[in-house]
Amino acid sequence: MSKEITVPAVGESITEVTVGQWFKNDGDQVQMDEILCELESDKATFELPAEATGILKIKAQAGETLEIGAVICTIDEEVVSTSKENDSPTPKSKEEPKSTGNAPSTTGEVKEMIVPTVGESITEVTLANWIKADGEYVKLDEIIAEVDSDKATFELPAEASGILRHIAQEGDVLEIGGLICKIEVTEGKPAPSNEASSSTSEATQAPGNSNYASGHASPAASKILAEKGISPESVSGTGKDGRITKEDAQGAQKSAPAPTKAESKPVAESSAPILGSRNERRERMSSLRKTVAKRLVSVKNETAMLTTFNEVNMKPIMDMRSKFKEQFKEKHGVGLGFMSFFTKAVCVALQEWPAVNAKIDGNEMVFNDYCDISIAVSAPKGLVVPVIRNAEAMSFDQIEKEIVRLATKARDNKLSIEEMTGGTFTITNGGVFGSMMSTPIINAPQSAILGMHNIVQRPMAVNGEVKILPMMYVALSYDHRIIDGRESVSFLVRVKELLEDPTRLLFGV
């Protein structure tokens, strides 16, 4: 008898799914509840388990889009039942469990681990990296995996001691509360056996016989290697069990083909792209990128966003930095940058124009008497916005130290949820990438964002004379529902005044 496997209902609003990846081939024998393939919807990725034991017949290939209820594959149960009748169990199979003398005694308890709640606004995470292999013994509270949310990366500790059984695979998108793995609880740690030592030596001698982690690239490493056009097989991993880490991928170089006698072209030319080629590649969007995209579109659709511009003469700040930067760094151990001047100026202006520091909550306007300044930072996984708490009460050196600390954690993907939530106003600096002018998008639920740009030497009229000055355009994007034109323009003019005469920041005038 042939069992038809159909696309299950995976959500009320989901009408179709895409076949992602087949874990079994056509004609393979599969067991009941064994994972056959992945199904991708517009919200998450799901695994399709086998509903019977038998021979798999694939009806839909990877990449095909199917409606809910459509047949995706069949399982021929008769073939298996016939083979079972011909096969008779041997005493050896019954004695196999006894032959593993080094195995720990199992308690019979199986601990199911689910995706924990990692933040109020986070509904799903991506399994980034398995630190412990399937079937490996783990201890209570030992880190077994890393999961990525749209805001940060978290470590997943084991909730029991025992044998780890993977349920989700690296790259899977899981909802909060979704099953990620199981742990078969044991009463003791398995003793090292001859079999284990021999498998270790085999892994050392023959890479083809190593465990699944050997030569396997993490999601971040895979992306970097794909951009470089380097195959993971040509990179040696320095991570656990030979896993290819992000650092391995960053340091990997594409090997040039060995020159032959007939070749007369330099090696450098062989790596140059072929003119007129039409190659293209596809990459799945990360959960961070998808969430940022949704929020940016939401802000554009749900706010009355406008942008006002002004320009700032940066010469006074540049002169002050040149005069005191060496003494500042010697005393405080950190450099004096432009960001601390902008942060201090913004804090003064926000307290004078509180609507710019406010937000809309339903039918109410929430005004903040403090200034939590969000600083946009370009991290490896995308744009993140860590927060400087109570910046209005901080000194220049405290602001610089906090910026360095948060930026370092952002680039190492170590920022916590608390460090990226609750800001009241955002500063973004596109000038570090060469931007001359832009209209930054508001960081919801905030009501305004200040955009900094590059500094350009331009001729300016000063007291009837033309002078060459270092000028920067600044842009304030704001929500017109809560901030009027008078407030937005006055706020930006006040920031300009403070920056062009930074001694005002010392006296609060």
Per-residue pLDDT at 464: 92
Q: In this structure, what token pair is assigned to residue 59?
A: 């009806």
Query: Is the CATH number 3.30.1330.60 carried by domain 1-88?
Result: no
For the domain 301-507, what is the CATH code? Answer: 3.30.559.10
pLDDT of residue 104: 60
Cα-Cα-Cα-Cα dihedral sign, residues 240, 241, 245, 249: positive
Confidence band of 225 (pLDDT split at 50, 70, 90)? confident
Which amino acid would we find at residue 229? Answer: G
- When pLDDT is averaged across residues 229-243 and rounded to a whole number, the result is 71
Of the given ranges (110-124, 423-437, 450-464, 469-483), which has the lowest mean pLDDT? Answer: 110-124
Residue intervals in the chain for CATH 2.40.50.100: 1-88
Query: Which residues make beta-bridge pairs with 459?
Result: 468
Averaged pLDDT score across all residues of the chain: 80
Taking residues 239-257, report their average pLDDT: 67
Of the pLDDT bands very low, low, confident and very high (cuts 50, 70, 90), residue 246 is low
Report the range out of 18-22, 150-154, 450-454, 503-507 with the highest average pLDDT.
Answer: 450-454
Range ranked top by mean pLDDT from 149-163, 260-274, 490-504: 490-504
In this structure, which amino acid lies at residue 182? K
Whether 202 has a pLDDT exceeding 70, the answer reads no
Does 378 have pLDDT greater than 50?
A: yes
The residue among 449 and 65 whose pLDDT is bigger is 449
Contact 214, 241 (CB under 8 A): yes
Instruction: With CA atoms as reference, report the closest residue to 450 among 413, 504, 499.
Output: 499
pLDDT > 90? residue 390: yes
Identify the pLDDT of residue 203. 43
The band of 150, judged by pLDDT with boundaries at 50, 70 and 90, is low
Say if residue 97's pLDDT is above 50. Answer: no
- Higher-scoring residue by pLDDT: 257, 342: 342
Q: How confident is the model at residue 420 (pLDDT cuts 50, 70, 90)?
A: confident
Q: Percentage of residues in the chain with pLDDT exceeding 70?
A: 78
Q: What is the pLDDT of residues 287-301, one digit of tens each?
A: 667 777 787 888 888
Q: Name the CA radius of gyration of the chain, rounded.
A: 30
**354 upstream amide cis, omega within 30 of 0:** no
Residues annotated as catalytic (active site), given as ranges:
480, 484
Residue pair 161/139 in contact (Cβ under 8 Å)? The answer is yes
Report the alpha-carbon distance of residue 170 to residue 212 in Å, rounded. 12
Give the other-Cβ count within 10 Å of 368's Cβ. 17
Residue scoring higher pLDDT (97 or 400): 400
Is 90 exceeded by the pLDDT of residue 505?
no
Structure tokens at 264: 């007369």
pLDDT at 11: 66
Please report the pLDDT score of residue 101 as a whole number.
47
pLDDT at 94: 41
Q: CA 179, CA 346: separation in Å to the nearest integer?
A: 46
Give the H or E element holding residue 144: strand 143-148
Give just the sign of the alpha carbon dihedral 388, 391, 396, 397: negative
Sign of the torsion formed by the C-alpha atoms of 331, 332, 334 and 337: negative
- Residue 98 banded pLDDT, cuts 50, 70, 90: very low
Give the pLDDT mean for 227-242: 71
**What is the tens place of the pLDDT at every residue in 72-86?**
999 988 665 555 555
Q: Which 8-state DSSP code applies to residue 164?
A: E
Q: Between 253 and 38, name the one with better pLDDT.
A: 38
394 has pLDDT over 90: yes
Residues shown for the chain: 509
Contact 121, 131 (CB under 8 A): no
Residue 473 has pLDDT above 50, yes or no: yes
CATH 3.30.559.10 residue ranges of the chain are: 301-507
Segment (H or E) for 92: helix 91-99
pLDDT tens track for 320-367? 999 998 999 999 999 998 999 999 999 999 999 999 999 998 889 999
Q: Is the pLDDT of residue 494 over 90?
A: yes
Rounded to two decimals, the pTM is: 0.53
User: Phi and psi (nearest 5°) for 400?
Assistant: -60, -45
Res. 263: pLDDT tops 90: no
Q: Tell me which of 199-203, 399-403, 476-480 is least confident.
A: 199-203
Distance CA 382, CA 364 (A): 32
Highest mean pLDDT among 149-158, 164-173, 241-250, 470-479: 470-479
Provide the terminal-to-terminal Cα distance of the chain, rounded to the nearest Å: 86
Q: Which of 141-155, 252-266, 323-337, 495-509 has the highest mean pLDDT?
A: 323-337
409-419 pLDDT, tens digit per residue, is 888 878 887 88
